[in-house]
Amino acid sequence: MKEIRYYVKRIAEFPKFQTDPNTLDLLALWNDALIRFTNEINNSKHLSRLKSSLPSDKNLQGLHTVIIYIISDKEWEKDGFPTTRLMEFLITKLPELAKSVSPYTEWIHDNERSEELIRALFSALELLPDQEDKKYFEDRLRSIDTIERIKILEESKKAQERAKEILERMKRAEEEEAASKYNRE
């Protein structure tokens, strides 16, 4: 596989102006994308599984189109991957991701989100990008994992002790810890 930045760039080039989740037939798109890996038209094993879980949520539909776009690239044919793992990712992980970041275009516009998306996909397919070892790959994914970060945000919101500490510190810090500046407001 290529380096992560290659895929991040590809996501940034996603033709969102051609993508209208209201009119796209996701199953047909998945059929076309999977042919290259399964050599089967209308692959009943995978597509029927996908069909039963296809989202009505426009945000998740949009995210599906981004994944289809990512893997509709010649690079994937060289290394290949087990289609069952991809299905697992689409059915279990992708809805979680769609829920944590919306609208789906944020996965395209925000470089860090694009990187997270491609890393989440690589992780599910048990692939490693070029120039990275497993440890680095996992560390990096953990550090930009949205779901993990939302959990931290929610915990910190709950932590009233933190609030008390901040307020107390601010009161204490006033003047005693001021830094000189040319003016006042």
Partner 1 sequence: MDREKYFLSTPLMKEEWFLSLQRLIESKYAPKWNSIIGDRITKEDYLFVKEYEKELYEDRKFHSQEPNSKIIEWIRKHKFSSYYFYERLKNISLEREFLKIRPMTREDLQNRITEILPTNTDFTRMVVNPTSGTTGKPILAPNHPRAIGCYVPLIEYSLKKHGVDVPHKSNITSGIQICHQNETIVYATTHSLAEGSLFAKINLKEKEWQNPSDINTFLFESDPIFLSGDPYSFESAMKTGINFKPKALHSTALELEDNLRDQLALYFQCPIVNFYSLNETGPIAYSCPIDPDWMHILPNDIHMEILNEEGEPDELGEIVITGGRNPFLPLLRYKTGDWGRIKYGNCLCGEASPKVQLLKGRKPIFFTDTKGRRINPVDISRILRRQTNVLRHQFIQKKNGSYIVNLSTYLPPGKSWGEELKILFQNLLGESADILFDFDLPNDGKKITVFINENIDLKS
Nearest to 126 by CA among 80, 92, 63: 80
Residues in region 11-70 near partner 1 by CB under 8 A: none
Q: Which two tokens stand for residue 94?
A: 């992708």
Distance CA 128, CA 131 (A): 9
| 170: contact with partner 1 by CB under 8 A | yes
Q: Which of 109, 126, 130, 136 binds partner 1 (CB under 8 A)?
A: 109
Stretch that binds partner 1, among 2-10, 67-75, 98-106, 131-139 (CB under 8 A): 98-106
Contact 60, 98 (CB under 8 A): yes
Q: Which of 79, 103, 126, 131 binds partner 1 (CB under 8 A)?
A: 103
Instruction: Indicate if the alpha-carbon torsion angle 107, 105, 53, 154 is positive or negative.
Output: positive
- Give me the half-sphere count of Cα atoms (radius 13 Å) on the Cβ side of residue 153: 7
Q: Cβ 139 to partner 1, closest distance in Å?
A: 16
Please report how the helices 4-12 and 58-71 are oriented relative to each other, as an axis angle in degrees rounded to 10.
Answer: 130
Q: Cβ 138 to partner 1, closest distance in Å?
A: 19
- Which CB, 16 or 49, lies closer to partner 1? 16
Distance CA 115, CA 141 (A): 8
Contact 27, 71 (CB under 8 A): no
Residues in region 121-160 near partner 1 by CB under 8 A: 146, 149-150, 152-154, 156-157
| 179: contact with partner 1 by CB under 8 A | yes
Stretch that binds partner 1, among 17-25, 78-86, 119-127, 167-175 (CB under 8 A): 167-175
Q: Which two tokens stand for residue 151?
A: 């959990």
Total residues found in the chain within this entry: 185
Q: Which of 40, 110, 132, 138 binds partner 1 (CB under 8 A)?
A: 110
- Which CB, 31 or 146, lies closer to partner 1? 146
Binding site for partner 1 (CB under 8 A): 102-103, 105-106, 109-110, 112, 146, 149-150, 152-154, 156-157, 162-163, 165-171, 173-175, 177-185
